[in-house]
Amino acid sequence: MYTKKIQQHSARTQFSTHSTTGTGNLKLIPLGGLGEVGRNMMLLEYNEAILIIDVGFRMPEEDMLGIDFIVPNISYLKGKQKNIVGIVFTHGHYDHIGAFPYVFKDIWTPGLQIFASPLTRGIILKRQEDFSGQPPLKITQVKDGSRVKLGPFQVEFFRQNHNIPDNLGLFIETPVGNIINTSDFKFDPTPVNDLPTNFQKLEGFARRKVMLLMSDSTGAEQENHSLSEKTIEKNLEEIFQHSSGRIIAATFASLINRIQQIISLSEKYKRKVIIEGYSMKNNVEIGNLLGFIKFKKETIIKAKEIDNYPDSRITIMCTGAQGEGSAVLMRITQKEHPFIRLKKGDSVILSSSVIPGNERTVQILKDDILRQGTKVFHYKMMDIHAGGHAQQEELKQMIRIIKPTFFIPIHGQYSMLAAHAELAKEVGVPEKNILIAENGQIISLNQKRIAVERLVVPSNYVMVDGLGIGDVGDVVLRDRQMLAEDGMFVIVVVVDRQTGKVKGSPDIISRGFIYLRESKGLLNETRKKVIEIVNKTAGSGGAVNWIYIKDEMRNKIGQFFFTKTHRRPMILPVVIEV
C-alpha cells in the first residue's frame, strides 16, 4: 500500500506564456527561517492568492525544557485557507518539512495542491503515518524541469546540490516579476548520488530577468568554498581501511548521501550493515524504494545478528551524533541497547557538525565513548562531514550568475543574513535593493522598489510538547526553569472553617530545593511563619479571600527562603478547609 502511495501522482510538465506585467504589489511573508536556523516557511501573496514554500520546524533551545520542536505560527492563514493556491516543498530535511503534520489540518481544504520531489514526498507521506486523524494527504511529484501553474504563480523546479538528494530550487513567475528561491544549496563539482550543478540552467533563468533572488544564508559566515562530498568519501574510506574492529557511524537520519557512502564503503570492505534508529530505518526504506540508496540485499542485517559475524565485518549506521538522549548512539554508549555494546577496537564516526547549543552535550558523548576504549572520529579531526550549504565564494557566484534586481538573504541567524547581504553588495547589488527581513514582516515588492510594511503578522514560537501544540508558552517555560533551577516547595495547611485558624502543623513537601531531614530548623521557622500569615489574615472574621491568603504565603515565604538560602523555589500553597 505504502509503495503504491509513494510511486503515484507525478506532475505533468506545464508551459505557459505567463506575463510579468501585472499591477499592484507582491507580498512576501516569512513565518520562520529568518533570524534562526530552521522553521523555514515563506508565503507569497498576490491579490489574496497565497503560495506556501516549505513548512519546517526547528529544534528547541537549551532553556526550553521539555519542548520537542518549535513550529511556525500560522494564525495569519486562519480564515484564508481557501486563498491558498498551493504548497511547494524544496527538499526533505525536517527544517523544511517537519512542521507539516502539526499545521496541515489547520490549512487544509479539499483539493489543496501540494508538490514535492519523489524523495521529499516519500519522507512526508511516511512521517504522516505517525499522525492519526489527519485529512487525506495527496502530494504530486515534481522533478527538475517540472512547471506548475498555481493561481497567479507559475513555479518551475530546478535541481540543486545539497546533502540530501532530490533537492529543488524554485523559479517563480509572478504578476510583478520573476523570483528565485535557491532552497538550501551548494555548488559541488563532484557530488555523491547526484549530478553537478546545471550552471547553464541558472544562466538561462538570468536571461529571463530575475526581479528577486532569495538565497540560502546558512554558510554566509564561512570563507571560501564548501567541501565536496567526494572529499568526504575519500576520508571515510581511510577509516574503513585502517579499522580492524566494528565501525559505528552516527549521522542525521535525513543525510541520505552520507548513509549511501557508509553502505557503499561497507560493501567494498565486505562488512554487513546494521541500520538502527526509527527515522533512519524509515529514510533508508524510502531511499531504497526510490533508488536513492542502493545496496545488496545480503548487506543489511538485524542488530540481533551482530554476534554471528567477526567485528571486522560489522558496520552500524545510527542516529545520535548530536548527543540526543533518546537516540541510538546515546543508548549504546549508556549500555541501554539490547544488542550492541561499545568495546575496545571499535571506531565511532560522528559525521555531522555540532548544532550551536549542543557543544557541551556532544563533548560529554565523546568523553563517554572514549572512556570505553573506543576511537572517535569527528569533523574537527578530519573532513568526514560536509555541510550542505554554500559558503561565501559560492554565494557570490550565485548572485553573479542570476544578476537579480533585488536581493533577500534567507535561511539563517541574523548574523548570517547580514553577512550574506554584505556579499551581495560586494558583487554589485545596490544597497537600496538589498533587504534583511525578519520573521513576521510583510515585504512589499514591485519592479521599482522593495520595502517592509508597517503591519507585522504573528510569527512567535509555537512549541510542541508531546501531543500538545501551542499549549506551552513563556509562563510555562519560566515555571519549568524555576523548577529546574531552584525546585519546588509545597505547603499544605488545614484551616478550621469556623474560626479561620490553622489546625495542627502544616505539612511540607520539598523537591529539588532542600533535603527535609537536614533542614529541620528552616522547616520549623517556615511552619511558624505560615501559621502566622494564615491566622492573621483569615482569623479576623468575615468572608475569607483564600486567593489573597495563598498569594501572601507565596510572597512572604518566598522572601524568607531567599534571605536564608538565596534561592527562589516554586512555592505551591494548598489550603484545606475542614
Give the SS3 label for residue 272. strand
CA–CA separation, 21 and 360 (whole Å) = 54
Given a contact cutoff of 8 angstroms between Cβ atoms, the answer to whether 54 and 90 are in contact is yes
CA–CA separation, 163 and 96 (whole Å) = 14
Give the SS3 label for residue 114. strand
CA–CA separation, 279 and 252 (whole Å) = 9
Q: Output the 3-class SS for 427-495.
A: CCCCHHHECCCCCCEEEEECCCCEEEEEEECCCCCEEEECCEECCCCHHHHHHHHHHHHHCEEEEEEEE
CA nearest 319: which of 288, 279, 266, 363? Answer: 279
Given a contact cutoff of 8 angstroms between Cβ atoms, the answer to whether 420 and 1 are in contact is no
Is-catalytic flag, 411?
no
Given a contact cutoff of 8 angstroms between Cβ atoms, the answer to whether 144 and 118 are in contact is no
CA–CA separation, 220 and 412 (whole Å) = 9
CA–CA separation, 430 and 409 (whole Å) = 14
Given a contact cutoff of 8 angstroms between Cβ atoms, the answer to whether 443 and 410 are in contact is no
Beta-sheet strand order (sheet of 507-511):
507-511, 488-495, 570-577
Given a contact cutoff of 8 angstroms between Cβ atoms, the answer to whether 570 and 478 are in contact is no
CA–CA separation, 303 and 243 (whole Å) = 20
Query: Among 93, 162, 337, 389, which one carries the catalytic annotation?
Result: 389
Give the SS3 label for residue 95. helix
The one-letter amino acid at 418: A
Q: What sections of 129-227 are H helices per DSSP?
A: 199-207
Give the SS3 label for residue 218. coil
Query: Among 216, 346, 465, 486, which one carries the catalytic annotation?
Result: 216
Is-catalytic flag, 216?
yes
Query: Catalytic residue positions?
Result: 216, 389
